[in-house]
Structure 1
Amino acid sequence: MIRVAVADDQRLFCEGIGLMIDSQPDLSFVGAAADGADAVRLARAEHPDVMLMDIRMPVLDGIAATAAIRREVPSGPPRIVVLTTFERDDAVAAALRAGADGFVLKDATPEFILAAVRTVHEGHSVIAPKATTDLFRSLAQRRPEAIAALSVREKEVFLLAARGLGNADIGRTAFISEATVKTHIRSILAKLQLASRVQLVAFAYENGLVR
């Protein structure tokens, strides 16, 4: 069973998520939090596998709560999917940088939300496709110095990865092996202090390096 929790200050929304989760044979709803501080306590107490996290909440917002969970639940923290009602919400990129594993719009279909839960539980990232282009375009600032620490080859791999290419496609484009691509990706994430490829994408658009 995949244990799922939700953090949102709208009680009816939480109840609806709970009913939807419990209707699935492979999912189990383990609790709801009404604010970010409660979300951190819930993560520590119930150890959910996946947490759906609203951005705008009282006491502690979803960005700070995500960062706190990553920091304070070091042993098996939940995978976190950020929920937002806005397609061009700059806070989403900040949440991804804080450690979220993806984001979906609150008006997504139940099927999409359930698929997102299962996908992040498997170790992948989820970004609502309808929202991605407008969201990241609104973040463009053109800051090439942000990747000054990378080598020339790493910059090339970074930009290809930021456009969503997989390792095989990056290798073919840059004429290097997949193993070399993986090595470069690990080095890039370490140098930029990023935790995942989805954070790499957010970082690229935040700094205007990809449009």
Structure 2
Amino acid sequence: MRKTIAITGLWLALLGGTFVAPSSSSAKSLPRVSTSKLSYASSKLKVRVKAPKAATRIAVRYNRHTTYYKVKKSYAAVNYKFTGYKTFELYGTTAKHHRVTQVKKLSYNAYATPEIVNFGESRTSDAANITIHTLGTHQQVTVYNGNKSIKSGNTGKGKTVRFNLTLTQYRPKLTYRVKASDRKSSLAFSIPYLKTVGNLDAIN
């Protein structure tokens, strides 16, 4: 019985050693990847990734899917088509896909148009006016009713665009998105609905 217990204990110890995950301290000691020339166009994230010598591939993980890009002269050119606003994970691997670098994360703030809520609106007896201010110049602003675009305009140098809506167009639950030329559209911002004649300024 004692021999059986001893053998079982040794077997469990060996199994435990086999499945122990790398500690956070060892993961932090791995080299890092870096990114440059990040842009977005035609539903694709384009970014240049610099890798250390140990990496022959760059892994791009998004929404539970992983794609590998070859490293050439210390760089990999990532051209990844995607939808949504999830976080990307980038890291270097060997040819057999064994990770050899730390994981670099790119949230939607890295590839989407940075924006804040900054608009004013007014309702008269026969129309509604919405004025939207953006952080950057020459950005495209689109107003939506659900998934349908009802108005679009460019902010120009003044970082401002104004929309005049008929009361037929002016509906509850309108939203707007802002898009810079080399970035994905911002997340949708809600436009409060004025049920009666009045004014509203919103800054967040």
TM-score, normalized by length of structure 2?
0.23
TM-score, normalized by length of structure 1?
0.23
Query: Which one has the bigger strand percentage?
Result: 2
Query: Which one has the bigger helix percentage?
Result: 1
Structure with greater Cα Rg: 2
